[in-house]
Amino acid sequence: MRDLSGKVIVITGASSGIGAATAVECARAGMKVVLGARRADRLEDVARRVRDAGGEAAIVVGDVTDESNVTDLLDEAVRSFGGFDAVFANAGYGTEMPFTAMTEEDLRTMFEVNFFASVALCREAAHRWMDAERGGHLLLCSSCLSKFTMAYYGVYAATKASQAMVARSMRHELAAHGIEVSSVHPVTTRTEFFEVSAERSGFEPGGSTVPDHAPKAFVQPPERVARAVVKCLRSPRSEVWTSWLVRFASALFTLWPGLQDLVIRRQAAQDRHRHDPRRPTG
């Protein structure tokens, strides 16, 4: 078990949800936190929560898809705390849309945010650690949908599967440098993720924070994911799951694709009325 006292972690998507909860949990473990996101007011609020939990916080306001954001985040960690020991690439979003309704811009933007931005941050952090001949810990917030998919979430699942595959590869490529790599696979988490997803998908605002098809047994608060992340920071492992039942289901789906098809077919039929299958106009 690693002592996290005084260690520094950089977290993207830190203004709400899993990112904010993880920042507070890291502070309780004695860590210093660099918070990155687009909304300055939300980051200030999370920074106060971090300090109330006994930690120290620095803020970087920016968009993860901006090329300068990676440098800004890591440089702020050096400026405020003398360096960084872990990175949690958590920023991301999803939509609930038929693939045929998504424009080329929709597809590329989701990959830019969910995949390319997270990999760019991890790559630069790894380079800095290797140059300094020291280790560190990279974590990427993937999803349970990296192992299987659901109707109308196919592109989101593809971005998360890409993250998971790169994380698995990096874990072995960077092991000789003392750098740990972990992918995090939350199940349905009660955050603003689904509210934002609904807005981006063109649904009426003010809906549920979780999709209708999500069984209540598989809905978790962000604090549960945060505790699992801190546990992984103390004792690194390749994958972080917050539901063994969903992990087991993903294995069954891999072994028996027909079972996955049965589940998705039912879910698709349940949600079909929400979607217009017309081709995109953009």
- Active-site residues, by number, are 156
Eight-state DSSP code of residue 145: G
Tokens of 38: 């687009």
Whole-angstrom Cα distance, residue 56 to residue 9? 11
Give yes or no for a contact between 89 and 12, defined as CB atoms under 8 angstroms apart.
yes
Of 93, 92, 96, give the one whose Cα is nearest residue 267. 96
CA distances from 229 to 173, 196, 215, 241 (A): 22, 23, 23, 9
Whole-angstrom Cα distance, residue 277 to residue 267? 16
Give yes or no for a contact between 179 and 135, defined as CB atoms under 8 angstroms apart.
yes
